[in-house]
Amino acid sequence: MKRIISRILIILLIILPTACTSTTNKKNTSGDVINPAPTGEKQELTILFDAIGEINLWNENIAYTNYKSDFEKAYGVKVKLEALSPYTDFTPDFYMKRTSEYNEKLAAKLYLKNGPELIYKRFFFPQESPSIKKAIVNVKGKIKNLEKIYDAFLVNDLYYIPISVTVPCLELQKKVLIDLGIKKTIINWNKANYIKVRKQWAVTKPLFTFSELTDIISSYMDNITLFDGNQVRINTPEMKACISAIRKEIWSGNYKLDKNYTYKNYYNMIFDDTSDEFKKGMIQMQSMEYNEKCLFTPNSENALNTKFTSDRFNYGNMLTLQPFTIGKIDKLYSAFMVNKNGKNLELAYAFINGLLSKKTQLAIFMASRISESQSFYPVSKEIEGDIKTLESKEKLSPKAITLKESVLNQIKNERVLKPYFKNEKEERIYSSWYGDILQFIFADTPYTDAELTKALQILEDKYTVLLNE
Amino acid sequence: MNKYISLKLTKKYRTIRYMKLNLFILPSLIGFLILYLVPFLWGIKYSFSLSGFDNTFVGLDNYKSLLSNRAFHIAMKNTAMFMGIAIPLIMVLSFALALAIFEFKFPKLIYLFILIPMAIPSASVVGFFRKLMDNGNFSLMNSQYAMIGVILIFIWKNTGYNLIIYLVGLMQIDHSFIEVSKLDGANFLQILWHIIIPLCTPTTVFVGIVSIVNSFKVFKDVYILQGNYPNMHIYMLQHFMNNKFVDLEYEKLTSAAFIFALIIFVFVFLLFYFDNRYKRKVGE
C-alpha cells in the first residue's frame, strides 16, 4: 500500500508541473496572444460591462449603440452585452462588497478558456486588481487605429483602451458670485482661489449637505500625498493640520448644521443612500433655499463639450476647471480591456479599431452635441481639425473654446490623464481613508494630539500592510 | 508438508488481515487524497504560473516576489513569533495542569470546565475578549502588545484539548517505574524529570503537532476581532493568504502556502527527531 501511494505521489509530482503550459492559445513569453484564430461558424463577440442598477452603460450613448449595430451588420456577427454586479448604492461597505463580488464574477468569466472578449469600463470605476490585470492583453501595437489617439494614452503599456474622455469642470453660480462681488472667474483656478471664495460664500449661512461636506473634505485632503513609495503616510503633521482645518471650517458657525447630528449621522449622510440623513440631504438640495444659495452645482458639465459649456457661459453659470480634483480622478475616460482568454480576439481588435476610426469618433462628438448625458469627447487626434470646423459653425462662447483648449492641452501634456494612483490598491486605500477621516472630523470632542497620533498610526499601519501585500 | 501448508495459510491469513485493515483506512485515505493532498499538490501548478488566468510558466518568480514582499515578511515574522511563544507555552501549561489533575485527583467536573472553551463559538469568544481587553482608555488589541491578546485567546481555547491528551498519556505510564524510583529515594522533581517527562515524549510530540494545527485556527478569532487587515502586530500568514485569495492572486497564495508548509514540515520533522532521540535514550 505504501509503495502504491508513493508511486501515485511521484506520478502526480511529475505530471503537475508539465500542466503549467497552456493548452489553448499559444502565447509568447510576455503572455500576449499571438494567434487567436477565430472559428468559421457564426461568431459572437461578448462585452462585459459595469452597470448602475438597471442602466446599461453602453446604451447611454447613441454613437456606441449605432456603432454596435453597424459592426454586427458589417461582420455578420452578434455583439452580446453582459452586465456584471450592478451598483445599487454607494456606501463604502457596499463598495467593498461589490468590488470583491465584481472581481469574483469577472474572474470566473476570465478563467473560461473561450471567455468573453471585451470588458467595458466607465470613467469613474476603479482600476482592476493585479490578478485581473494579468488576464488582460497589453494591446500596444496590436490595433491599427491606436496610433491616432492622443499620445498621452500611449506613454506606457496599454491595458485600458480609451474610447472617449470626460473632464468635469467646476460650475459656479453666477448670481451667488456676483452677490459676493466676484465678477469673473479664471479658468484653471488654483485651490487657494477656490477656498478663499468658498469661505467668503460660507458667511451667507448656507445649508450644509453632503455636497458641501465632500467639497470641504476633498479640497483640503486632496492636497496631501498619502503614498511615499511602499509606505502610507497618514500619521503626519500635515494630515493632522488638514483634519483640524476641516473641523475648523465646518464648525466655524457659518454653515447651518443639524445640532443633533453625530459622526454616525454624517457618515450616513454621505455614504448611505437608504438612510434618513441622506434623504434629508437630498430634500435640502432640491429646496429653493439651497438652489438659490449654493456655490456650485454638483453635476457639472464636461469641460470638453463646448456646446453645453458655451450655453452655461452665455446664459447660466460661471465655469472653471475643478482646481482640486484634477489629478486625483484616475479614470476620466471610458475604456475597453481585452481578455487574453477571449474566444474571438481578432474580432475584438476589429471592434475597437472601428470605435477608434474617424467615422465613429466623429459620431461620438456629434452625439455629445445632442444631450448632456452623452457628453463624451473623442480621443482621436485625427479629427481635431474636423471638430474645430464643426465648432466654428456653432457660434460658441469664446470662453468655452478657451476652456476646452486648456483641458485638451493638459491631456496632450499628460497632466489630466496621467494616473494619480499607481495601482488599484492605492485607489482602494484612498477611498477607504475618505470614510475613515469622518470619525476624526465629527468626533463629539476633538481628539487630543496623543489620541490622534495613536489612531492615525493604527490606520497607517493597516493601510501600509494592504499596500504592500 | 503440514508445516508448509500451515505456514502458507498463516501467510494468507496475514495478507487478508492486512488487506482488511487497509480497507478500513481506505475511505479516510481517499478523502484525504482528494480533498487535501491532490489540491495541495495541484497548487504547484499555480505557484509556477503567471496567474490563475494564465498558465505561462514563470519559474520561481512568484517565490522571489513573495520573499521580497514586505507584507509577507510582517506576516511571517508575526506567525513565527506567535508559534514560537504560544506553542511551547500551551504545551507546558497543559502538561502542568494535566499533571496537577493527575496527581491531586481533581473531581471530573473540572474536565468539563476545561473543555468548555473549545465548544464556545468564536463570535462569543471574541465578544468576551473584546470586553476583557478594551477598557475604553486602553485597547490591548490595538496596541503594539496585541500579540499577547492573540496568545491568550489561543491558550484559553486550546489548553483543555491538550490537557486531555496529556492526561491519557500520564495514565498510560507504567506506575511500577515510579514506585521503584520512590523506593530508591527519588523526590518528585527527580521522578518528573527522569521518568514522567521522558515517558510522555510521544504524547508531547503528538500534542506539539496538534498545537501547530490548532494554532492556524486562531486566525478565525483574530479575523472576527479585527477583520482582514488587523493591527500590524497580529497580521498573520493566514491574513496574507486569505487576502490573496480574495484578490484572486492564486499564484502568490500557493507560493506562500508552500513556503509555510515547508517550515511546518521542518518543525514537525524536528519534533519527530527529538522523539526518536528520547526513545533511544529511554531504551538505553
Distance CA A425, CA A330 (A): 13
pLDDT bucket at A123, cuts 50 / 70 / 90: low
CB A227 within 8 A of CB A422: yes
Contacts of B29 in chain A (CB under 8 A): 5
Do A131 and B53 make contact, defined as CB atoms within 8 angstroms? yes
One-letter amino acid for residue A219 of the chain: S
Residue A103: name the closest of B253, B46, B247 by CA. Answer: B247
Residue A166: predicted pLDDT = 83
A243-257, A295-309, B59-73: lowest mean pLDDT where? A295-309
Whether B240 and chain A come into contact, CB under 8 Å, resolves to yes
C-alpha cell at A137: 492583453
Q: In B, which residues are within 8 Å of A111 by CB distance?
A: 52-53
Per-residue pLDDT at A200:
86
Residue A230 touches partner B, C-beta closer than 8 Å: yes
Alpha-carbon distance A382 to A366, whole Å?
15
Higher pLDDT, A425 or A75: A75
Write down the pLDDT at residue B3. Answer: 65
Looking at residue A252, its pLDDT comes to: 85
User: Residue A302: what pLDDT?
Assistant: 85
Minimal Cβ distance to B70: which of A110, A341, A468: A468
State the average pLDDT over residues A300-304. 83
Question: Contact A20/B49, CB-based, under 8 Å?
Answer: yes
Mean pLDDT is highest, among A74-83, B91-100, B133-142, for B91-100
CA nearest A1 in B: which residue?
B22
Residue B227 reports pLDDT greater than 90: no
* pLDDT for position A125: 47
Q: How many CB atoms sit inside 10 A of residue A96's CB?
A: 15
Q: Predicted confidence band at B135 (pLDDT cuts at 50, 70, 90)?
A: confident
Q: What is the pLDDT of residue A24?
A: 40
pLDDT of residue A70: 93
Lowest-confidence region among A37-41, A318-322, A395-399, B168-172: A37-41
Span A393-407, mean pLDDT?
A: 87
Residue B249 at interface with chain A, using a CB cutoff of 8 Å: yes
The residue of chain B with its CA nearest to that of A458 is B231
Binary contact (A464, B54; C-beta < 8 A):
no
Q: How confident is the model over A49-77, as pLDDT tens digits?
A: 876 554 556 667 788 889 999 999 999 99
What is the average per-residue pLDDT within B144-163? 91
- In our burial notation (b when 16+ CB lie closer than 10 A, e otherwise), range B118-142 reads eeeebeebbeebbeebeeeeebbbb
- CB-based burial, A99-125: b 16+ in 10 Å, e otherwise: beebbeebbebbeeeebbbbbbbbbeb
Look at B55 and A22 and tell me if their CB atoms are within 8 Å: yes
Mean pLDDT for B245-251 is 83
| Rounded mean pLDDT, A87-103 | 58
Residue A388 pLDDT grade (very low, low, confident, very high; cuts 50, 70, 90): very high
Question: Does the pLDDT of residue A454 top 70, yes or no?
Answer: yes
Mean pLDDT check: name the lowest of A59-68, A396-405, A419-428, B15-24. A419-428
At A166-215, the pLDDT tens digits run 887 878 888 888 888 887 767 767 777 888 888 888 888 888 887 888 88
Q: A198 and A173 in contact (C-beta within 8 Å)? A: no
Q: What distance in Å separates residue B118's CA from the closest CA in chain A?
A: 30
A231's enclosing H/E stretch is: strand A231-232
Q: If you average pLDDT over every residue of chain A, what do you get? A: 78
Please state the rounded mean pLDDT for residues B79-107. Answer: 90
3-state helix, strand, coil in chain A (%, to 5): 50, 15, 35
Predicted local confidence at residue A18, as pLDDT:
44
For A355-383, what is the mean pLDDT? 88
Length of chain B: 284
Whole-angstrom distance, CA of residue A59 vs CA of residue A68 = 10
Higher-pLDDT residue of B163, A431: B163
How are beta strands A44-52 and A78-87 bridged, if at all? parallel
At B14, the pLDDT band (50, 70, 90 cuts) reads confident
CB contact under 8 A, A130 and B249: yes
A363 pLDDT higher than 50: yes
Mean pLDDT of A408-420: 69
Cα separation of A165 and A334, whole Å?
6
Please compute the mean of the pLDDT values over residues B2-24 and round it to a whole number.
79
Q: Is the pLDDT reported for residue A218 higher than 60?
A: yes
pLDDT for A440 beyond 60:
yes
Maximum CA extent, chain B: 89
CA angle A346, A351, A355 (to 5 degrees): 145
φ, ψ for residue A83, nearest 5 deg? -85, 145
Please give the Cα distance from A237 to A246 (Å, whole number). Answer: 14
A232, amino acid identity: V
- A272-282 pLDDT tens trace: 777 888 888 88
Cα of A425 to nearest chain B Cα, Å = 10
Nearest alpha-carbon partner for A285 in A273, A328, A198: A273
Find the closest chain A residue to B233 by CA distance.
A461
Q: What is the DSSP letter of A381?
A: G
Query: Within an 8 Å CB–CB cutoff, is residue B169 touching chain A?
Result: no
How long is chain A? Answer: 469
Q: Is A148 exposed, middle or buried (0-12, 13-18, 19+ CB in 10 A)?
A: middle
Distance from the B112 Cα atom to the nearest Cα atom in chain A, whole angstroms = 39
Model confidence band, residue B143 (pLDDT cutoffs 50, 70, 90): confident
pLDDT above 90: percentage of residues in chain B: 27
**pTM attached to this predicted model:** 0.73
Average pLDDT of span B63-85: 92
Cβ–Cβ gap A20/B48 under 8 Å: yes
pLDDT band (50, 70, 90) for residue A21: very low
Q: Quote the pLDDT of residue B217.
A: 84
CA angle A52–A57–A62, rounded 5-degree value: 150
Indicate if the pLDDT at residue B76 is higher than 60. Answer: yes
Question: What is the radius of gyration, based on Cα positions, of chain B?
Answer: 24
**Would you call A339 helix, strand, or coil by DSSP?**
strand
- With an 8 Å Cβ cutoff, are B51 and A110 in contact? no
| Residues above pLDDT 90, as percent of chain A | 17
Mutant choice from B50, B73, B141 vs A, greatest count of A C-beta within 10 A: B50
Give contacts of A464 with chain B, Cβ < 8 Å: 232
- Our CA-based measurement puts residue A210 at a distance from the nearest CA of chain B, in whole angstroms, of 28
pLDDT digits (tens, 9 = 90+) for B52-70: 778 889 989 999 999 999 9
Q: A107 in contact with B at a CB cutoff of 8 Å?
A: yes
